[in-house]
Every structure is written in structure tokens, then in C-alpha cells.
Amino acid sequence: MTGRVWGLGVGPGDPELITLKALRILRNAPVVAYPAPDDGSSFARGIVARWLSPVQIELAIRIPIEAARFPAQTVYDQAALDIASHLDAGRDVAVLCQGDPFFYGSFMYLFGRLSERFRCEIVPCVSSLGACAAAAGFPLAARNDVLSIVPATLIDDDLTQRLSACDAAAIIKLGRNFARVRNLLERLGLAAHAHYIEHATLPTARVQKLSEVDPGLAPYFSMILLHRREKAWR
């Protein structure tokens, strides 16, 4: 009997936003794997640290900083081999995912390598999208709205085309792209009612107007939310 691999969504950051299901599976997992930077602690592990037990085997998937943006496939090749060795030995492996595993999550690179050979189950969780909307008090979309999730890493022409067509948008992966995106939203007349959110659900959470943001400080995990009607419920 081979083990089962879980893509275990542990939420956007606040430990209290974990689901009962994720907590049950976490506690029962003999092996707990998680992404971690080359040098430093894992954000996903930090969310659930209070519930880990010393008898659990931990497996840090060390992802070089640059690879977090341009996934280095060799990292995932090796991680998939490491996880497979536990699965082959009959041990279930819970892979911790910050944010929803299938919403721009790096877990899908492991899923692509493991799901044909092993039983693989996903536990969905609170995504950054819902967390940011809640933090900003900003309803995302209603009725016949089209809501587009748009990575800030797109080139200007693509961003302009996507944002011109949508009723509502969440612009993700800001980081170094913040200033460029803000300029573009100003040109499109979409900046005035947009909200900027970082670290949603954490004690360091911040919600600002675009004009208040210091573009040098926007982290990669921040988001801009906007709606053409300003308030979705109108």
C-alpha cells in the first residue's frame, strides 16, 4: 500500500483561518513537507507550527529565491522524488500550501509529477483573494460581473488589454511591478477607487489607497483590488 499525498491548503497567514479538515489531516500526517527559502524559515510551516508534533517527519523543500518566481523545475523534480520515497514506503505526506494549492500555488508542480502514480488529494483553503477582499472591506464581484485575476508580471500591453475589458480585477504578484502597474491604472482611470492590500490576515496587514503606497516597499505577496462600479453591490 503506497501512501497518499495531500495538497494541504493552510490559508493566507492567520493560523485561525485554517479549516477543521486541514487541521485533522495535518495532525494525522506522518510526513509534513513545505516550501522554504534557501536560508530561513517556511511561511507555510509557521502558520501551523503550534500543531506539529516531534514525531512527525519534516521535509523542507528548499526553493532558491529566484526560483520562487521562475520555478526551477529541478527543485520540484528532487522534491517529488523525496516525497515519492515516503509514499512508496506507505507513509502519507501532507504538503503545506500557503493559500489555495490550485490558485497560482507552487504545489501544482508537485501535483504534475506525482498525481499519475499516487493518490493525490487537495484540501482547498481561504485564498489570498478572499483574504484581501475581507481586509479591505471590498466586495470583489456581484451579479453579471466578470472578475479577472491578473498577474502584475504581464507586460504593459497585456495588462492594459486585460484591465480595459474587466468589470473587476485582482492584480497579484505586485512586488517590483507596483509602480508600473499604478502608472498604468492612473492612465486607464482605474486608480482612484483601487485598494492596495499586503499581508492580509496577519498582524502586519495594511490596506492603502494606491497613492499612499511606497512603491519600493510593496512585497511580492500583495494585491490591488478594483471594481468599475466602485462598489460591487450597486
**Footprint of a copy of itself on this chain (CB under 8 A)?**
7, 9, 11-12, 14-21, 23-24, 71, 100-105, 108-109, 111-112, 115, 120-127, 129-131, 133-134, 137-151, 153-154, 161-162, 165-166, 201, 231-234
- Closer CB to a copy of itself, 46 or 139, in the complex: 139
- Closer CB to a copy of itself, 161 or 211, in the complex: 161
DSSP letter, residue 106 = T
> 50-70 burial by CB neighbour count: b if 16+ within 10 A, else e?
eeeeeebeebbbebeeebeee
- CA pair distance 151, 174, nearest whole angstrom: 8
Distance of closest approach, residue 214 Cβ to a copy of itself, in angstroms: 25
- Closer CB to a copy of itself, 57 or 69, in the complex: 69
- Closer CB to a copy of itself, 57 or 132, in the complex: 132
Distance of closest approach, residue 107 Cβ to a copy of itself, in angstroms: 8
125 touches 22 (CB < 8 A) = yes
Residue 181's alpha-carbon distances to 111, 154, 200, 201, in angstroms, are 32, 10, 20, 24
CA atoms within 13 A on the CB side of 25: 23
Distance of closest approach, residue 140 Cβ to a copy of itself, in angstroms: 5
138 touches 225 (CB < 8 A) = yes
Distance of closest approach, residue 1 Cβ to a copy of itself, in angstroms: 21
